[in-house]
Amino acid sequence: MHEITVPPVVTGSPVGGLADAVFQHALEDPGRVVLGRKSGGVWGDVTSGELASEVLGLAKGLLAQGIRFGDRVAIMSRTRYEWTLFDFALWAIGAQPVPVYPSSSAEQVHWILYDSECTACVVEDEDQAMTVGSVIDRLPVLRRLWQLDTGAVDGLVEDGLQVAEDVVHRHRSAVTPDATATVIYTSGTTGRPKGCV
């Protein structure tokens, strides 16, 4: 049998990550509506320019608070706009989100944050903050806990005001297509949940 190989017609990009799309869309068409956001009971549009600006501001804040390339950050929340911001901001600096079900027990939260070696955690409300707080003494690498309902995003954006935008873009340019985007834990049908890259 003869083996024949043909070079690929299109080769993969040697650089680039998921956050690049946010900034590319903002450059190409900053006024294009890309998301809807409910605020005060009313839905409003979010343009690509606005999204890129918010992602950049949050990414700068994460860097100011010590989140670094390759760090894992848990997000324990219902699906909401801020989750999208954190995903893209973390991807922009080469960090990895670790989603956690908002209804997880303290032991489940402990296992996921411990096993994934999360250095920070974002929670939605006080109940979730208390769940993480109840096991925080057993999480040796967890350094930060932010709560969305108490203004975590605004606080982080303020923290990042002194960080230059190009610092975020340098991090973003170091992300490659084979970088880990997210670590998701299985439901654990046999034993403890397992992290899936």
CATH number at residue 161: 3.40.50.980
Q: Which two tokens stand for residue 148?
A: 């969305």
Q: Residue 12 falls within a domain, yes or no?
A: no
User: Whole-prediction pTM value?
Assistant: 0.91
Q: Which two tokens stand for residue 111?
A: 């296992």
CA 122 to chain centre: 10
Q: Residue 3 falls within a domain, yes or no?
A: no
Q: What is the pLDDT of residues 165-194, one digit of tens each?
A: 999 999 999 999 999 999 999 876 677 888
So what's the pLDDT on residue 100? 97
Domain that holds residue 162: 20-196
**Residue stretches of the chain with pLDDT short of 70:** 1, 10-13, 188-189
What residues contact residue 56 under an 8 Å CB cut-off, 6+ apart? 23, 89, 92, 165, 168
16 torsion bin: left (phi>0), alpha (psi -120 to 50), beta (else): left
Q: Which residues on neighbouring strands pair with residue 44, listed in sequence order?
A: 37
3-state secondary structure of 194: coil
The average confidence (pLDDT) of the chain is: 94
Whole-number Cα distances in Å, 99 to 49, 84, 164:
26, 12, 28
Q: Residue 1 falls within a domain, yes or no?
A: no
Q: How far apart are CA 78 and CA 15, in angstroms?
A: 32
Q: Residue 10 falls within a domain, yes or no?
A: no
Specify the number of domains making up the chain: 1
Give burial (CB, 10 Å; 0-12/13-18/19+) of 86: buried
So what's the pLDDT on residue 191? 78
Q: Residue 7 falls within a domain, yes or no?
A: no
